[in-house]
Structure 1
Amino acid sequence: MTTYSGPATLVLVDGARVAGVASLRTNDRGDLLGWTGSFRPDHVSDELRSATDGLELELPDEGTGKVGVTGMRRLLATQVLLSLVGRGPAPF
């Protein structure tokens, strides 16, 4: 299993960029290949709340990967945590 935890940018379908922190890991068990993780945005918008698929996650070393949002939960009054599933090769 490979992991990444640190700064990331989520690029929405309309091109809007959302800075935040990602925690990602690869799934290397049996036939389960791919990667998953979470993303905690610095700021929450209505566009981000409605985002589901067709998104891209950029890491500081210029690695990028396509992602879908599988869930969202509130952490504090102004913070949310998005659950992500990778689409294709992991960017880390």
Structure 2
Amino acid sequence: MTTYSGPATLILDTGARVTGMASLNTNNRGNLNGWSGTFRPNEVNTAVREATGGQIELPYEQIGTVAVTNVRRLLATQVLMSLTGTGPAPF
């Protein structure tokens, strides 16, 4: 299984850029076209809470398209976003 865990930027459909930490992995025993994971933004606002998709950018300009499948509240000021990737994994 291929994985990535570290800093990332979520580029929302609105064009807003949100920095945070991502934890991503491939599905189906290394099939690089099936991947998913989570993203924990550094700052939470209405755009983050209502996000439905966009792109995730990893270091070295690696970019993948994602759908936001869930936004779960962790603490009063933190959320955890569940992501499902489409196309090739950017890691």
Structure-2-length-normalised TM-score: 0.93
Report the alpha carbon displacement of residue 77 of structure 1 after superposing the two structures with TM.
0.7
CA RMSD of aligned residues (A): 1.8
Q: Gaps (5+ residues) in structure 1?
A: none
Following TM superposition, the consecutive aligned residue runs of length 4 or more in structure 1 with deviations greater than 6 angstroms are none
More strand by share: 2
In structure 2, how many angstroms separate the alpha carbons of the residues matched to 1:89 and 1:49? Answer: 26
Instruction: Tell me the distance in 2 between the aligned counterparts of 1:41 and 1:60.
Output: 16
**Which residue is equivalent to 1:8?**
8
Residue 76 of structure 1: how far off its partner (Å): 0.8
Question: Counterpart in 2 of 1:84?
Answer: 83
- What per-residue deviation string (whole Å, max 9, x for no partner) do you get for residues 21-68 of structure 1? 000000024x8x500000000001101111113x00000121000000
Aligned to 1:74: 73
Unaligned runs of 5+ in 2: none
